[in-house]
Amino acid sequence: MSEAAARRLLRLTLTDFRNYPALLWRPETAISVIVGPNGSGKTNLLEAASLLVPGRGLRGARVADLLRQGASGAGDWAVAGRFAGPDGEFDIGTGTLPEGSPDAQANRRVFRLNGAPPRSQAEIASLLAAIWLTPQMERLFQEAASGRRRFLDRLVFALEPGHAREVASYEAAMANRNRLLAEARGDPAWLAGLEDGMARHGVAASAARAGLVARLNAALAEGVAAPFPAAYMTLICPIAEQLRAAPALEVEEWLRDGLAGGRAQDRQAGAARLGAHRADMGLADAASGIPAQLASTGQQKALLIGVVLGHAALIATARGAPPMLLLDEPAVHLDADHRAALCAALRRLGGPTLVTGTDAEAYAGLRDEAGFWACAASGLEPLAA
Amino acid sequence: MGGPEIDRLIGLLAKLPGLGPRSARRAALKMLQQPDTRMLPLASALAEAARAVKPCASCGNLDSRDPCFICADLHRDRTTICVVESVGDLWALERASVHRGLYHILGGTLSALAGISPDDLNIPPLLARAGDGTVREVILALGATVDGATTMHWLADRLRPLGVNVTRIAQGMPMGGALDVLDDGTLAAALRARRPS
């Protein structure tokens, strides 16, 4: 893993991005608190920062939707960030290219590292990691398991970029198998080939998920998120259970056999009833043991923040520097004790951190260290203390 | 811009792989400026190739001769067939001069989602060739994608009963690569495909 990592965000520029025609912002501190009324563009700013790492950003938006409504000119948006790293400053830029540019592709965003195309997106990922928490994630425990699985997978990707490929390969093999079963083209050798792919990629993905859960729990138990209360994560997945008792190659065999034996039932159900896509993630308060499903809205929020802080600490250990933290309205639903603990934990982590809120008072615990900014469509203004 | 002939030329060029509207315009302009040296020779080469080049009835390679120059070459090892997805893959292997046997072009990989079934691929001639008594080894050299791996699995299942040795190209360590920069999936594949040293 690369030693180089961003220590501070020095400058952020936005061009025709969401509600911003043009923005140049120079944070003066590692932690910035961005305050403004609803609709002033706080989340857009965090989304812009989240796009400086590979992926679809914190809203999972399509590239075409990021362009400012009514943007004039060529119809291209851009986001650029300047970071201070251990070996000096570096610039990461992203956006769409004007049509006709040598490597322009419709609805495809490109990266620039210090003004030149990077060798690969992995080069960007080795310089900058970002994790975020948005109000949408508060629904994680009311919604289907797929949302929790995606949340868990994002945590795994940030530490193991190869995980994305395993999950994509697994899903591709499964989608092909579902189609074959639905069309009742009973070609057992074809199905066996796809089940072999599901077994190899599914076991690799499950092992990576289980590894992340174990590392995260160990880090949280050590108090990396302190004084914020620690969460405890569980992975609910039969493949991970098998992996605890048997080597990976045996588990692949077990999954292949299970899929081959379940074809008739899977055809009727229209989906595979066994596999890595059935995994679910559970969270509980480490001290009380209360699971997230039974916890209050505020407690659930606290559990998620605990996970995000623990994960940030994990990245900091693995890569030598904390990731960029993007927290959208983290103080909502939190009581005063939790807010104070959050501020203390953020001060301890110390990486580039952007926090939004409608009310600066919620972040009084950051008063001495963070820069406070008022957000408006025209730009960011320092907020008087 | 310059009449329908030029627009049509640019439109056709822009559909070629590696070219977009901009590079198609540049190519068209270059040709139009030098019709005698660039355009007419190209036009006759295109017409000649379109008329003469056909897929080889045996292996599927593109050549003006049938059987193609590889199938017709008596110096090549006729006991080994290397199965590849496309003619481009055959060209890559020939550039490397690493395979002295024959080839078989599959014309794609199995994909239920894309509607490509075994019937859509160049499979029956492969099974006929593999079972003709001369062939001792079939090397499966498809890409390390989900569809490539599935297709190799399917082909191995069909080829083994014919009494031929079915192998597949190795996956793992790149030449000149260091272990610590490999991702987990590649490392696992390399370890799985280890061999006595």
* A124: CATH: 3.40.50.300
| B17 pLDDT above the threshold of 60 | yes
Q: What angle do CA A20, A26, A27 make, to 5 degrees?
A: 110
A129/A161 same-domain check: no
Give the CA distances from residue A271 to residues A74, A175, A176, B153, in Å, rounded to whole numbers and listed in that order: 44, 9, 11, 22
Q: Is A147 exposed, middle or buried (0-12, 13-18, 19+ CB in 10 A)?
A: middle
- Closest-CA residue of chain B to A181: B112
Rounded-to-integer distance, Cα B158 and Cα A132, Å = 50
| A312 pLDDT above the threshold of 60 | yes
A3/A123 same-domain check: yes
Q: Look-up: residue for tokens 């809203």?
A: A59
A379/A250 same-domain check: no
Q: Is A127 part of a structural domain of the chain?
A: yes
Domains of chain B plus CATH, in order, are 4-52 (1.10.8.420), 62-196 (3.40.1360.10)
Q: Is A71 exposed, middle or buried (0-12, 13-18, 19+ CB in 10 A)?
A: middle
Q: Is A191 part of a structural domain of the chain?
A: yes
Q: Which of A1-15, A202-216, A308-322 has the highest mean pLDDT?
A: A202-216
Q: Which residues contact A379 (CB under 8 A, 6 or more apart)?
A: A23, A24, A25
Helix axes A248-261, A238-245, angle to 10 degrees: 140
Helix axes A145-159, A162-182, angle to 10 degrees: 140
Query: A243-297: per-residue pLDDT in tens?
Result: 999 999 899 999 999 999 999 999 999 999 999 999 999 999 998 999 998 999 8
A215/A126 same-domain check: no
Between chains, do B146 and A176 touch, taking CB under 8 Å as contact? yes
Q: Is A86 part of a structural domain of the chain?
A: yes
Between chains, do B150 and A100 touch, taking CB under 8 Å as contact? no
Q: What angle do CA A221, A223, A229 make, to 5 degrees?
A: 90
A25/A152 same-domain check: no
Per cent of chain A over pLDDT 70 is 95
Give the CA distances from residue A370 to residues A31, A36, A80, A359, in Å, rounded to whole numbers and listed in that order: 5, 16, 22, 14
Report residue A103's pLDDT band, with 50, 70 and 90 as the boundaries. low
A130/A159 same-domain check: no
Q: For residue B153, list chain A residues with Cβ-Cβ distance below 8 A.
A: 189, 192-193, 196-197
A113/A173 same-domain check: no
A190 contacts chain B (CB < 8 A):
yes
Query: Could you say which residues from 127 to 156 on chain B have a Cβ atom under 8 Å away from some Cβ of chain A?
Result: 145-147, 149-154
Q: Is A281 part of a structural domain of the chain?
A: no
Q: For residue A183, list chain B residues with Cβ-Cβ distance below 8 A.
A: 112
A38/A71 same-domain check: yes
* ipTM of the modeled complex: 0.74
DSSP A283-321: EEETTT--BGGGS-HHHHHHHHHHHHHHHHHHHHHHHSS
Query: Which of A80, A115, A94, A87 lies closest to A9, judged by CA?
Result: A80
Between chains, do B112 and A176 touch, taking CB under 8 Å as contact? yes
Q: Is A77 part of a structural domain of the chain?
A: yes
| A4 pLDDT above the threshold of 70 | no
Mean pLDDT of B118-139: 94
- Closest-CA residue of chain B to A182: B112
Domain count, chain A: 2
- Closest-CA residue of chain B to A208: B184
Residue A112: the pLDDT is 94
B193 forms beta bridges with none
In terms of residue numbers, what domain contains A179? 145-219+237-275
A28/A97 same-domain check: yes
Q: Is A4 part of a structural domain of the chain?
A: yes
Rounded-to-integer distance, Cα A341 and Cα A227, Å = 5
CATH label of the domain that carries residue A208? 1.20.1050.90
Minimal CA separation from B109 to chain A, in Å: 11
| A307 pLDDT above the threshold of 70 | yes
Q: Is A97 part of a structural domain of the chain?
A: yes
Q: For residue B110, list chain A residues with Cβ-Cβ distance below 8 A.
A: 190, 193
Minimal CA separation from B146 to chain A, in Å: 6
Query: Which of A369, A368, A365, A363 lies closest to A35, judged by CA?
Result: A363
Q: Is A226 part of a structural domain of the chain?
A: no
Residue A3: the pLDDT is 39
Structure tokens at A370: 């963070």
Mean pLDDT of B71-79: 95
Residue A1: the pLDDT is 34
